[in-house]
Structure formats: C-alpha cells, structure tokens
Structure 1
C-alpha cells in the first residue's frame, strides 16, 4: 500500500513537471517578438546545439532553453554589443532552410540556428538600433 502511494505521488510529480514545462514553452513561443532559436558555443567546434526560444526586448535579446523550468532567460545579449559576423546554410535533413549565424558578444563568439525569417528579423532589429560606430551585421 505504501509503495503504491509512493509510486502514485512520483507519477503525479512527473506529470506536473511535464505540464509546467509544456506550459512554459507555449507561453514563451506565444510572446510577441519570439522565435525558435538554437544556440551553441563556437569552440569546441561541432559542439551540440541547445534548443531554445529567443525574444526581442527593449535593447536586448533574451534566450531561454527549451527544456528548462527557469522563468528567467539563460542568456541575455544587449543589442549595442551584439554582432553578426557570419551566416551559412546548415545541411540538416528535413530542414533545408536553416541558418547557422555566428555572433560575437563582448569578445565571446557563439552560434545561433534559426530560420531565414528569424534571421531577417534579427538583422533588422540590429540595424534599427540607435547609430553607433560599430558594424554589427555582415
């Protein structure tokens, strides 16, 4: 009897966590200015891409891991310090329209994966920033 109650509570906990995660993903992806965006460090080469959702904020780009319960973004990049340094098409089976976008933020390089539409939005957002002496889009 005690084992059955313990298993039932454990199962209820797992279902609750999965429900919270699904609700979080739905909320993040439904926000204005959000788009699906994977991220990975440039080095080591060939590192794994972590799935996520990015959202434009007032002067910043916030990025959340897809599978996390954290209410806060995992990464935040200020628009004034974010640069796009390269872009290339990814050879992903079933996704011929996916870009790998190499970026630099405060001397740290990383790569984002996104659709062509998301890339157009990102470059437009960067170019719409107040004037500065930096070239941020290649």
Structure 2
C-alpha cells in the first residue's frame, strides 16, 4: 500500500509542476512588450484556438495559450501576410473584429480587440516602400 501512496503523490506533484510551468509561460508571454491576445482558426472552422501574438522584427509570432512549447506555433512574416477583410465580431463582446487573413496562399481568421486590430493594420502599413498593399 505505501507504494500506491508514493505513486499518487508523484502524479499530484507532476500535475502541479505542469500547471505551474504552463501558468508561468502564459504570464511571461502576455507581459512581453508588443504582445496581444489573438485567437486564431482556419477559415471555415468553428473552433478557435486561444493564443498570444507578439511583434518581432519583420514578423509576428503566435503562441497557443494552452501549450508548454517554448517556440511559437505560427510565425507570419510581414511581406507575406495580408489582411483581406474585417467585420465587427461580438462573440467576445463589443469592440472585437473578425479579421480575415491570407498567408502564403492559406486563409485563416483572427479574433482581435479593436486596438489590437488597429495596431496590426498599422504594423503592416509601416512595411518598407513597395509593400503598402497588405492592408484592406
């Protein structure tokens, strides 16, 4: 019977450790300069994946919220990212936009707060000369 207690204790400690690491990762990502909440899904899908995006030099890196990965799940380079449409999106409350994007020929959607959308649009418009066609 004492072996079962140690196994149960090991499982509890492991679960607590994983939850602690996940919470620490999420807090670190959300506090970085240039980070913003950004839910994503493939076009035509119903389920959203919660995430946090961050501006980097010439790209946006996007991490899933509920993951332990130290690397971003997606990286979108400014030269290849296009905003092809937007509309008010009240699923998350007023002041959100459903933003339709295209990257390397693949369509996807982002759920962004209004301020985050305007920041993204400004970031794309600030592209080097000759790349001002990226924003709708």
TM over 0.5: yes
In structure 2, list runs of 5 or more residues that go unmatched. Answer: none
| Residue 90 of structure 2 is aligned to residue 75 of structure 1 | no
Q: 1:65 and 2:58 equivalent?
A: no
Report the counterpart of residue 35 of structure 1 in structure 2: 36
Cα RMSD for the two superposed structures: 1.1
What is aligned with 1:130? Answer: 128
Report the Cα distance in structure 2 between the residues aligned to 1:39 and 1:14, rounded to whole angstroms.
Answer: 27
The 10-residue stretch of structure 1 (28-37 or 126-135) with the greater mean CA deviation from structure 2 = 126-135
Deviation at 1:91, TM superposition (A): 2.7
Once the two structures are superposed, the pairs formed by residues 78-117 of structure 1 within 5 Å of their partners are 78-92=77-91, 95-117=93-115
Deviation at 1:99, TM superposition (A): 0.9
Q: Which has the higher helix share?
A: 2
SS at match of 1:49: coil
Q: In structure 1, how many angstroms separate the alpha carbons of the residues matched to 2:76 and 2:86?
A: 18
Q: 2-side partners of 1:95 and 1:5: how far apart?
A: 47
Moved segments of 4+, more than 4 Å: none
Q: TM-score, normalised by structure 2?
A: 0.95
1:40-99 CA distances to partner (integer Å, 9 max, x unpaired)?
000xx242110000000000010000000000000001001100000011131x612211
Q: What count of residue pairs does the alignment treat as equivalent?
A: 135
8 A contact 2:35–2:54 mirrored in 1: yes
Deviation at 1:133, TM superposition (A): 5.0
* Structure 1 residue ranges without an equivalent (≥5): none
